Each structure stands twice: as C-alpha cells, then as structure tokens.
Structure 1
C-alpha cells in the first residue's frame, strides 16, 4: 500500500513541478472522488424526489408539468450516471499511470485543462481535431 500523500488545502498542480508526480496524481484522485461522491449524492436525492412525486395528480396541466419535470430529472440522472462512468475511467487511468496523457498523441494534457475537466482524455488540440472530423462525417 502506498503511503498517504500530504496535500495542503490550497495546493494546485503547477507547471514547474514534474508532470503527474505523486502530489498531482493525488490532487486529481481527490478531485475526481469528491466529484463522484457529489454526483452520487445528487442522484440519491433525485431518486428520493422522484419516488415522493409519484403521486396521482388530478389536474391535467399539473400532471403534464410533473411529467415534464420527471423526464428532465431522469435525463439529468442519466447524464450523471454517464459522468460517473467517465470519472471511474479517469481514476483507473490514475492507478494505471496513464492519467494526464492524450489517448491519441501520448502528449501531456495541460494542467489547466485537467483542472477544469479532470475526465479529459485528449489534449485540447486533439479534441478539437476529433470534433472537426466528427462534424465532417456527420454532415456526409
């Protein structure tokens, strides 16, 4: 088992440190785990809210409004579920030593990008190329 890594509360990965050193990896591991726990808590609240709102509403307009709200909640929950899968994949990449490197080019992903979107798997440039290719193929 690895020793616990001390991170000050105000720690932020910096460009002048070795890329993906133990402190940076621990920072991103904690950030991802916190995000995951937050999403799971919101998901539990959503389920609780949906089960409470599963009552019969006699007014047709109120019932339609409640169904719309319910559909929105379910879509949100599905997005959160997909996000949790991506977070788990990022945590796996940390454990496997692949986190922070572009899956297309192998280049380091910028710390600013990872801090903003820790589930990123590509550098900004590779992501933009990928999206341009997707648009071109979608337009065919």
Structure 2
C-alpha cells in the first residue's frame, strides 16, 4: 500500500475509534441513570433495555479492540496483510472492513471450518 492509502486507513480507523468510544460512553451513561419505576412492567422493560445496552457495550468493546489492533499493525507496517498467509488483504475488502485481519480466501476457509467443527478459539 502507498503512504496515502495507509494515511487514509489510519484516519478512517481513528475516526471509527472515536465514534466507537462515544457509543460506549453513551451506553454506559444511559445505564447509570436508573429511572424511578412505578410497576413491575416498567422494571421488566428497564431490565431488558439494560441487557440490550450491555450487549451493545460488549460488541462495541470488541470492535474497539480490533480497531486498536489495526492501528498497531499500521504502526508496525503489517496492516493490509493477512495474519495467516501474509498475502495482501486487498483495498476493496479493507474499505468494507478496515479491521480485517485475514484475506477473503483465508476468512472463507475459517468460516467453513467453524460451520463443521464449531468455533474453538
């Protein structure tokens, strides 16, 4: 990848990082503000909303770790190359998923194995 492409993806990942952190903070803030609940239906709805918010925080935290790992790979010069095969991931795939760690061929193989054997990572 050229320096311009690396700079583009670095900026894109940093923007993703900022947006992800903002979503995590907003979700945490909404969980910290417990409303006054008047009946059991309100309490049940609040608990369900809290579970959904917690799932959002967990999902966003996982994305944040992937973003951080991608930024680290940019710093070390490994960004854009498959972690397993060492082949280029491809600009088109990185535009869709800037945190991609594997080229499409390896990722497809991994998904097929998961279908047959389950995910034992």
Q: Determine whether 1:31 maps to 2:12.
A: yes
Higher relative contact order (CA closer than 8 Å, sequence separation 6+): 2
In 2, Cα distance between the equivalents of 1:42 and 1:69?
A: 15
Is the contact made by 2:27 and 2:56 (CA closer than 8 Å) also made in structure 1? no
Q: Secondary structure at the match of 2:27?
A: helix
Q: Which residue of 2 aligns with 1:121?
A: 101
CA RMSD of aligned residues (A): 1.3
The alignment's TM-score, normalised by the length of structure 2, stands at: 0.93
* Aligned twin of 2:72: 92
Q: C-alpha deviations, 1:79-129, integer Å up to 9, x for none? A: 101110110000000000000011111111111110110110111111000
5+ residue gaps, structure 2: none
Between structures 1 and 2, the one with greater helix share? 2
| Structure 2: distance between partners of 1:75 and 1:48 | 14
Secondary structure at 2:118's aligned position in 1? helix
| Corresponding position of 2:84 | 104
- CA distance in structure 1 between the partners assigned to 2:30 and 2:102 by the alignment: 36
The counterpart of 1:74, out of the listed 54, 60, 72, is 54
* SS of the residue 1:41 aligns to: helix
Structure with the greater alpha carbon radius of gyration: 1
Matching residue of 1:22: 3
1:51 corresponds, among 32, 37, 59, to: 32
Task: Normalising by structure 1, report the TM-score.
Answer: 0.81
Number of corresponding residues? 119
* Post-superposition offset of 1:56: 3.6
Q: Are 2:81 and 2:102, in contact at CA under 8 Å, matched by a contact in 1?
A: yes
1: CA distance, partners of 2:113 / 2:32: 43
Q: Is 1:64 matched up with 2:65?
A: no
Could you tell me which runs of 5 or more consecutive residues in structure 1 were left unpaired when the two chains were aligned.
Answer: 1-19
